[in-house]
């Protein structure tokens, strides 16, 4: 039955009169036809250009037949592991298996393999020897060149080689996938598609590009894989060059050599999308939900997070060290028009389960609604200067008026009760805006009792490695937030996201963070231990002990026990953390924080035990008193006629 989704079976193909598909798209997620899912965008963009695309979602990688259910595609196979790297999807930072998968029907874990792109690629190549394979999505993008893999604790080769694919379409991919499709359609052999921005290919001959007169097409030869594997400093050096070549206006071609005379070549990124191009992509006929075949399994949990949210931008010039956005979406912000977003919002209000609440209007950073400066759209982002770090650039445009106007229009839509902003707010950028109108209206209309922000740490030593603003900037933001709430007569709170064990954080800095939380009288319910994911500055620091930006040495906490101590310090009030906190304080030479003074984090063990017993006794007494009151109330109720 033709239900508006793309074909997932031979029956679907027959109903549409399709004998052979142009592309078969193999994905590690459930099939969700919503623009928050990369596979939905890429497949709909291809469809809009006249290509016939079918979806194989979460094939059984142990069965070769699972990859052949739609037959041999005319032009090629596409592969994406999913909206997350498959290893992040499967494992906590402790490397313990996650219990559920929000991107799988019913939240069931284990429906995709580890290193899904590689496994799917090899499965296809085993079945179809000569069909072009193009890989993309977050997993392929961030593993496009040699990369440190946290889960195996090793430097891995480019995923292009290990997956046996022909091309990588890296980044967001809408432009490059059409150029690839058109090239294949015109009869160009996939091995000769070496000229498309936003792609990575393999070759044995780089003489034509390494000797080019045009500097942009004169490839920079990175250290070889063998050199990097033997010497982590070489990897830090290579990553530093890669980091300087992520901008579509200034980036040069990069070439990385492997044993046997193979080169993996990265072309410069695709140019950013215009607003008109963004609007066209989000206007495609998405079904905006998961495939109906998943209904019996309870649907796909991830849809609840995005069903009533609106994407207004992509790209981020925040450039946090632990974030891979610079390597994936880039530093140049791209936006949709108000008309496009309002049109989508009106569609949301017609959904039968819409309750009047738009959950989010944002992107990687909600309050980035235009490029950092006018220069970026002509010359690109600065190669050796961040927009916000270590201090905001004087040329930066910090005007929030466009975003404010958009939020006002959304609030005014019939049927909309509340519009929340739940994407990250970059608070240092917000403070640079001399007009506080957006800040005031954010607090008044778009916060649900709590505003989540991400200072990540409060030690300037650690913040410097993170590429985050100094502690004093966050404290200034907190005061302004409290001042605005007081003026509006509201009691709303800040929920700070904090990270333990980031490169640069010793026990000294971890104790400093614990003292800050003590003075704030706040203990976070959750703490994020630093997670070394592929292709971030922080991950390179973790692996090499070197900051690629300035080649300086960085302290790295790799020992699981020390990581546990750093994490426990953030939640020092939890009784189960007592021994870890005590050990950490002793190792840090901070015995002064063990005692009875109000500045102390914990009490001596015996006193702590007595305090615990006294507290338990008081709790039992309170419970008995409460039970007695309930009994009296019940007696009174029975006596009533």
Domains recognised in the chain with CATH numbers: 10-198 (3.40.50.280), 308-426 (3.30.750.210)
| Phi-psi label, residue 17: left if phi above 0, alpha if psi -120 to 50, beta otherwise | left
Pairing of strands 154-156, 167-169: unpaired
Give me the mean pLDDT over the 44-56 stretch: 98
Is residue 630 predicted with pLDDT exceeding 50?
no
Where b means 16+ CB within 10 Å and e means fewer, 62-93 reads: eeeebbbebeebbbbbbbbbbbbbbbbbbbeb
Give the pLDDT score at 207: 82
Residue 473: how many other CB atoms lie within 10 Å: 19
For 513-565, what is each residue's pLDDT tens digit?
A: 999 999 999 989 888 999 999 999 999 999 999 999 999 999 999 999 999 99
- CB of 92 closer than 8 Å to CB of 146: no
263, 206 contact by CB (below 8 A): yes
Q: Is the pLDDT of residue 574 over 70?
A: yes
What is residue 633's predicted lDDT score, i.e. its pLDDT? 41
DSSP designation for 602: B
Query: What's 474's DSSP letter?
Result: H
Query: Burial level of 315, CB count in 10 A (0-12/13-18/19+)?
Result: buried
pTM score: 0.92
Burial of 602: CB neighbours in 10 Å, binned 0-12, 13-18, 19+ = buried
Q: What is the pLDDT of residue 621?
A: 52
d(CA 385, CA 387): 7
Q: What is the mean pLDDT of residues 30-58?
A: 98
Report yes or no: 345 and 416 within 8 Å, Cβ to Cβ: yes
Which of 307, 337, 485, 492 lies closest to 403, judged by CA? 337
Q: Is the pLDDT of residue 24 over 60?
A: yes
Kindly report which listed range (69-83, 154-168, 202-216, 256-270) carries the lowest average pLDDT score: 202-216
At 29, the pLDDT band (50, 70, 90 cuts) reads very high
pLDDT of residue 485: 97
**pLDDT tens track for 372-431:** 998 998 899 998 889 999 999 999 999 999 999 999 999 999 999 999 999 889 999 999
The mean pLDDT of the chain is 93
Q: pLDDT at position 607, please?
A: 54
């Amino acid at each position: 039955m033709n239900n508006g989704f793309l074909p997932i079976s031979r029956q679907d193909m027959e109903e549409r009169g399709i004998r052979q598909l142009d592309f078969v798209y193999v994905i590690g997620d459930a099939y969700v036809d919503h623009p928050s899912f990369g596979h939905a965008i890429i497949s709909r963009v291809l469809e809009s250009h006249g290509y016939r695309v079918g979806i194989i979602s979460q094939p059984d990688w142990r069965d070769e037949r699972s990859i052949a259910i739609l037959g041999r595609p005319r032009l090629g196979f596409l592969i994406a592991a999913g909206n997350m790297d498959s290893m992040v999807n499967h494992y906590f930072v402790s490397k313990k298996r996650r219990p559920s998968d929000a991107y799988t029907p019913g939240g069931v874990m284990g429906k995709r393999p580890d290193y899904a792109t590689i496994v799917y690629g090899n499965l296809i190549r085993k079945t179809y020897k000569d069909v072009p394979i193009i890989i993309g999505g977050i997993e392929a993008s961030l593993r496009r060149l040699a990369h440190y893999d946290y889960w195996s604790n090793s430097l891995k080769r480019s995923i292009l080689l290990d997956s046996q694919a022909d091309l990588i379409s890296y980044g967001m991919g809408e432009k490059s996938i059409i150029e690839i499709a058109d090239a294949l359609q015109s009869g160009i052999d996939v091995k000769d598609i070496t000229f498309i921005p936003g792609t990575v290919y393999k070759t044995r001959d780089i003489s034509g590009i390494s000797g080019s007169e045009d500097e942009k097409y004169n490839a920079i030869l990175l250290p070889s894989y063998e050199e990097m594997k033997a010497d982590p400093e070489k990897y830090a050096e290579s990553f530093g060059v890669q980091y300087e070549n992520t901008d579509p206006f200034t980036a040069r071609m990069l070439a990385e050599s492997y044993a046997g005379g193979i080169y993996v070549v990265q072309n410069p990124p695709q140019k950013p999308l215009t607003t008109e191009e963004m609007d066209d992509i989000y206007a495609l006929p998405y079904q905006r939900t998961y495939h109906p075949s998943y209904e019996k399994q309870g649907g796909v949990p991830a849809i609840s997070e995005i069903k009533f949210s609106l994407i207004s931008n992509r790209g981020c010039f925040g450039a946090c060290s632990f974030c891979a956005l610079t390597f994936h979406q880039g530093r140049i912000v791209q936006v949709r028009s108000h008309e496009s977003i309002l049109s989508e919002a009106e569609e949301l209000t017609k959904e039968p389960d819409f309750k009047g609440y738009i959950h989010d209007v944002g992107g990687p950073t909600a309050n980035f609604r235009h490029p950092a400066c006018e220069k970026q759209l002509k010359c690109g982002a600065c190669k050796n200067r961040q927009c916000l770090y270590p201090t905001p650039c004087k040329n930066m445009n910090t005007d929030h008026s466009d975003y404010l106007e958009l939020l006002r229009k959304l609030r005014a839509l019939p049927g909309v009760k509340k519009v929340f902003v739940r994407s990250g707010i970059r608070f240092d950028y917000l403070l640079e805006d001399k007009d506080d109108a957006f800040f005031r209206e954010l607090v008044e209309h778009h916060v649900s009792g709590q505003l989540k922000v991400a200072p990540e740490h409060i030690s300037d030593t650690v913040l410097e490695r993170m590429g985050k603003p100094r502690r004093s900037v966050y404290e200034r933001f907190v005061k302004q937030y409290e001042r605005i709430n007081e003026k509006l007569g509201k009691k709303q709170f800040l929920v700070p996201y904090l990270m333990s064990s980031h490169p640069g954080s010793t026990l000294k800095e971890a104790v400093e963070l614990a003292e800050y939380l003590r003075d704030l009288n706040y203990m976070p319910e959750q703490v994020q231990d630093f997670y070394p994911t592929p292709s971030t500055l922080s991950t390179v620091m973790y692996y090499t002990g070197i900051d690629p930006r300035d080649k300086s040495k960085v302290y790295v906490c790799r020992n699981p026990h020390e990581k546990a101590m750093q994490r426990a310090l953030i939640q020092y009030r939890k009784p189960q953390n007592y021994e870890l906190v005590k050990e950490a304080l002793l190792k840090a030479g901070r015995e002064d924080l063990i005692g009875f003074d109000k500045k102390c984090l914990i009490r001596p063990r015996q006193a702590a035990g007595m305090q615990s017993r006294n507290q338990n006794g008081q709790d039992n007494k309170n419970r008995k008193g409460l039970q007695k009151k309930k009994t009296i109330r019940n007696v009174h109720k029975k006596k009533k006629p």
